[in-house]
Amino acid sequence: MPRENGVTPDGEDKESKVFRRKLRGKMRNLHKTLHESKDEIIDLTGPVSKLGEVIEILEDIHEDVVKPREQLLDAEVMATAADLGVEMAKKMGGLGAITPAQFMARLCKQFVVGVDPDAQAERDEGAFNWTLFGSSVGKHFHDAPTMAFMNGAMDTQIKERRVAQRIRRDPVGPAVAPDSVADTKADQQTDQAMKRMVKILRNKKHQNETLTVEQLSANPKSFSQFIENIFTLSFLVKDGEAGLTPPPEGLDGPNVEKCPQVRKMKKPEEQHMDRSTFVLHLDMEGWRRLCEANDRMEGAIPHREEVTEMDLTEGNGIGGPGAAARAEDGEEVESPGGAENPKGKAKPRGRGLTRPRDSTNSEERAAALRRKVAV
């Protein structure tokens, strides 16, 4: 019904509290009707137009809905009606599809004029009102206005089918065993030396003690092993496992204030620092002077007994005559046939290099090691 200037046909102001109260009462009554007549509404054998009547009343009331409370009631009623419609649709789907005879009978009943529409349609072909039928169903076939597009290229030439080219497979040659395998023992021994030095630095750190470069790597018995210790320390500094710091003042010892201390450090990346290393130039004469200055002090890295191929061929290996002579001089010799060396063969130590026991008298060996450190 029409509304003009916010006033009902009865002259009642739509903004008044009384009108708003009546409006909310109507929506509550509709909601109550839907709940009470639920079984009757979804029953397909009875009148099915009651749900449509309720929706029409709700649509008419919806024009006056303004306040939040009214909007809430309106939404609740509409949601309940939608749920009932879904239940009706589910029940209709279970009944099965309509037969063609039933469909034609209903069309004749609606669009054929006469007492008996079915008989009238059979006798008179023009009794069916096609104009009324077309106007009633035409609204369901309205096409929405759209724009036509053509996708793809305008080239209509048929593409030639490409023939797949098979890849030629060469025959697999026979498996060949290599004559020699690269020796990785030296690299493994270098890693072991680095782990041994890191362990010493970690233990000193836990004991709140520090070592200087001299105290860590000094070896008065072998110049080559001293160079190896310095070489291993340079690897640790480069990898960030160790760092060099100036010694604090007040330490006792010959020239100890000039020797940096070695500490277990964190990775340079964790401290936002760049990686670095150190270079030490020392020849055999300088090593001898260093040993005399520190009274031939033994470093934290113990001296490693060295065995050459000459010792093994002459019987001076572990368990041989040479070993017995060294045992008389007070040197430690491993017993032959141990668990780790059941055949009694000597295993080279250090970085896998074969060198004489008395390295202090080998000028050529020292020069080679100096070139290695420089590289």
Give tens-digit pLDDT for 280-333.
Answer: 777 888 888 888 887 888 877 888 776 554 444 444 444 444 443 343 344 443
Q: pLDDT tens digits for 188-216?
A: 676 777 777 878 877 777 777 777 777 77
Question: What is the total count of domains within the chain?
Answer: 3
Say yes or no: 195 and 287 in one domain. Answer: yes
Predicted local distance difference test score (pLDDT) of residue 338? 39
Distance separating alpha carbons of residues 120 and 117, to the nearest angstrom: 5
In a domain, 6, yes or no: no
Predicted local distance difference test score (pLDDT) of residue 95? 60
Predicted local distance difference test score (pLDDT) of residue 316? 47
Give CA angle at 168 (163, 173), nearest 5°: 165
Look at 19 and 4; give whichever has higher pLDDT. 19
Tokens 């790597």 correspond to: 217
In a domain, 244, yes or no: yes
pTM across the whole model = 0.33
Predicted local distance difference test score (pLDDT) of residue 200? 81
From residue 59, give the alpha-carbon distance in Å to each of 49, 52, 197, 210, 234. Answer: 15, 10, 89, 91, 89
Left, alpha or beta for 334 (phi > 0: left; psi -120 to 50: alpha)?
beta
Say yes or no: 275 and 203 in one domain. Answer: yes
Say yes or no: 317 and 242 in one domain. Answer: no
Say yes or no: 200 and 274 in one domain. Answer: yes
Cα Dmax for the chain = 140
Predicted local distance difference test score (pLDDT) of residue 140? 79
Which residue range forms the structural domain that includes residue 271? 185-293
Say yes or no: 288 and 192 in one domain. Answer: yes
In a domain, 178, yes or no: no
Query: For the residues 209-228, what does the mean pLDDT come to?
Result: 80
Q: Which helix (H) or strand (E) holds 186?
A: helix 185-206
In a domain, 316, yes or no: yes
Distance separating alpha carbons of residues 171 and 16, to the nearest angstrom: 99
Say yes or no: 275 and 315 in one domain. Answer: no
